[in-house]
Amino acid sequence: MSHLLRSRGTLAAVAVAVVAAAMPVLLPPSQVPVYVLLLLAAIVVTGLSLLMGYGGQVSLGQASFYMIGGYSAALLAVHGLPTWLALLAAPVIATAAAALIGVPLLRLRGHHLAFATLAVQLILLSLAGRQEWAGGDIGLQGIPQLEVAGYAFADDISYAYLALAALAVVVLIARNVVDSRPGRGLRALATSEVAAESSGVPVAGYKLAVFSLSAGFAGLAGGVYAFFIGYVAPGSFPVLLSFEYVVMVVVGGTGTIWGALAGATVITLLLQLLNNIGTMEGMPAAAPSVLSYAVYGLLLVLAMLFMPQGLVRGLALSSRLEVRWGSWKTISSRSGKRRRRSA
């Protein structure tokens, strides 16, 4: 049975990879930017899923590291640094910022930590809107075109493949972390910090490490976003974006890479649909925001009631039950045949 499930998982991974690689070409040109934003959200949510599912920490300000990555890449590129180097610097700066901020923040737990991370984002938004070197409320414009090894990313399709490559790297790193010895320590930490510490797990160090890693993922996504859009401003990183990432994790399933990808896909497509409905003729100006908040609340309630482990784990459980039911029916059928023969 385990071999069957593993083979199904491998086939599913190959199928998803093939479909993801074909989407930029198959989608209408107007939908490719939505696909790029979906991939960037999946990068951020993969890190947040590790933080929530393995580190046992909840961040309501993950968009702040997305913002740090975006502003870092934009500022460095605007001031003459090669664009490819500015992009590589974005996750490094976001990771360093998280390591610095995380030392005092991770002394908090539960909702105290969640509100502290939210406060960090509010502070960063306020600072960015007041600083002339960051462009103020207008933001930084005129970001140079991204170039890597002489290749210029000039259209949406090229950025779609760049975002897809970045997501592949993030998933590979996350998978290796989960399967490593520190990953087992993180699982123990998420279950019980006291038990993990008594077993020799360096709780404080692991918490800071996964917090910084998730911020680095967000910083990478922010760097790609800055070059893709061509400008960054405080309005590009609203507080609602952080809540959106948390909803993606909860709906997809915490502590699973597949859950992060599924949650990002479902919520991004749903928000695009709601935005299309909210901007229809005759709808009030606040309709898109109101619909988004309503759907966030409704999805969280439904997920907690009917699928508390998320979409991926819920579907995996159904698959296991189906395989077990098939095995039980086969065994019962064979037993019945033996009994008839002996009779």
pLDDT beyond 70 at 318:
no
Which whole number is the average pLDDT over 88-113? Answer: 92
133 CB-near residues (< 8 Å, 6+ apart): 75
Q: Say which residues have a Cβ less than 8 Å from residue 248's Cβ, sequence separation at least 6.
A: 41, 45, 48, 260, 263, 264, 266, 267, 268
335 pLDDT higher than 70: no
**CA end-to-end distance (rounded Å), the chain:** 31
**Averaged pLDDT of the chain:** 83
Which is more confident, 206 or 48?
Answer: 48
pLDDT at 285: 72
Q: Under a CB-based contact definition with an 8 Å cutoff, are residues 32 and 157 in contact?
A: yes
Q: Is the pLDDT of residue 5 over 70?
A: no
More confident residue, 304 or 128: 128
Specify the DSSP class assigned to residue 343.
-
Residue pLDDT, tens place only, 8-19: 667 777 888 888
Q: Which tokens go with 21? A: 């690689």
At 309, is the pLDDT very low, low, confident or very high (cuts 50, 70, 90)?
Answer: confident
In the three-class reduction of DSSP (H, G, I as helix; E, B as strand; rest coil), residue 147 is classed as: strand
For the ranges 23-27, 44-48, 184-188, 325-329, the lowest mean pLDDT is seen at: 325-329
The answer to whether residue 55 scores a pLDDT higher than 50 is yes
Phi, psi of 254 (to 5 degrees): -70, 150
Indicate whether 333 pLDDT > 60.
no
Task: Give residue 62's pLDDT.
Answer: 93
Q: What is the pLDDT of residue 3?
A: 52
- Reported as a single tens digit per residue, the pLDDT across 275-291 is 777 777 777 777 777 77
pLDDT of 161-179, one tens digit each? 999 999 999 999 999 988 8
Task: Tell me what percent of the residues of the chain surpass a pLDDT of 70.
Answer: 87
The predicted model scores a pTM of 0.86
The per-residue pLDDT for 245 is 93
What are 195-223's pLDDT values in tens digits?
777 777 788 888 899 999 999 999 999 99
Q: What is the pLDDT of residue 255?
A: 77
SS3 content of the chain, % helix, strand, coil (to 5): 80, 0, 20
Give the H or E element holding residue 326. Answer: helix 310-342
**pLDDT band, very low/low/confident/very high, at 306 (cuts 50, 70, 90):** confident
More confident residue, 120 or 8: 120
Q: What is the pLDDT of residue 307?
A: 73
**Residue 181: predicted pLDDT:** 82
Q: Is the pLDDT of residue 133 over 80?
A: yes
Which of 45, 85, 80, 87 is closest to 262 using CA atoms? Answer: 45
Supply the DSSP symbol for 76: H
- The DSSP bridge partners found for residue 140 are 232
